[in-house]
Amino acid sequence: MKGVLLAGGSGSRLYPLTRITNKHLLPIYDRPMVQWAIEALVRAGIDEVMVVTGGTHAGEFLRLLGNGHDFGLDRLLYAYQDQPGGIAEALGLAERFADDQPITVMLADNILERSIKPFVQAFAEHPHGARVLLSEVSDPQHLAHLGVPELDEQGRIVRIVEKPEVPPSRFAVTGIYCYDSEVFSIIASLVPSGRGELEITDVNNHYADKGALHYDILEGFWGDAGESIDAYYAVNDFVRAHGANRP
Phi/psi for 12 (5° steps) reads: -65, -30
Q: How far apart are CA 14 and CA 223, in angstroms?
A: 14
Instruction: Answer whether residue 231 is part of any domain.
Output: yes
Instruction: Answer whether residue 155 is part of any domain.
Output: yes
Beta strand pairing status for 110-112 and 130-136? Answer: unpaired
Task: Look at residue 9 in the predicted model and tell me its pLDDT.
Answer: 84
Instruction: Answer whether residue 247 is part of any domain.
Output: no
Instruction: Answer whether residue 132 is part of any domain.
Output: yes
Which amino acid belongs to residue 200? I
Beta strand pairing status for 103-107 and 2-6? Answer: parallel
**pLDDT tens digits for 165-195?**
999 999 999 999 999 999 999 999 999 998 8
Q: Can you list the alpha helix ranges (DSSP code H) found in the chain?
A: 33-43, 59-65, 87-92, 95-98, 117-125, 140-143, 183-189, 200-209, 229-242
**pLDDT tens digits for 90-108?**
999 999 999 999 999 999 9
How sure is the predictor about 66, in pLDDT bands with cuts at 50, 70 and 90? very high
Phi/psi for 109 (5° steps) reads: -100, 10
Burial class of residue 243 in the structure, from the number of CB atoms within 10 Å of its CB (0-12 exposed, 13-18 middle, 19+ buried):
exposed
Q: How far apart are CA 42 and CA 5, in angstroms?
A: 12
**pLDDT tens digits for 118-151?**
999 999 999 999 999 999 999 999 999 999 999 9
Q: Which domain holds residue 40?
A: 2-242
Instruction: Answer whether residue 123 is part of any domain.
Output: yes
Number of separate helices (H) and strands (E) present in the chain: 9, 13
| Total of domains in the chain | 1
Which CATH number is 112's domain given?
3.90.550.10
Instruction: Answer whether residue 140 is part of any domain.
Output: yes
Q: How far apart are CA 145 and CA 196, in angstroms?
A: 19
Q: Residue 10 above 80 pLDDT? A: no
Q: How far apart are CA 211 and CA 208, in angstroms?
A: 5
Instruction: Answer whether residue 120 is part of any domain.
Output: yes
Q: What is the pTM of this model?
A: 0.96
**DSSP 8-state code for residue 21:** S
> Shortest CA distance to 157 belongs to which of 130, 184, 176, 180?
130
Show Cβ contacts of residue 46 under 8 Å, excluding neighbours closer than 6 positions: 1, 2, 3, 104, 120
Instruction: Answer whether residue 235 is part of any domain.
Output: yes
Residues forming a β-bridge with 144:
none
Question: Strand order of the sheet with strand 171-179?
Answer: 75-81, 48-54, 2-6, 103-107, 171-179, 130-136, 213-217
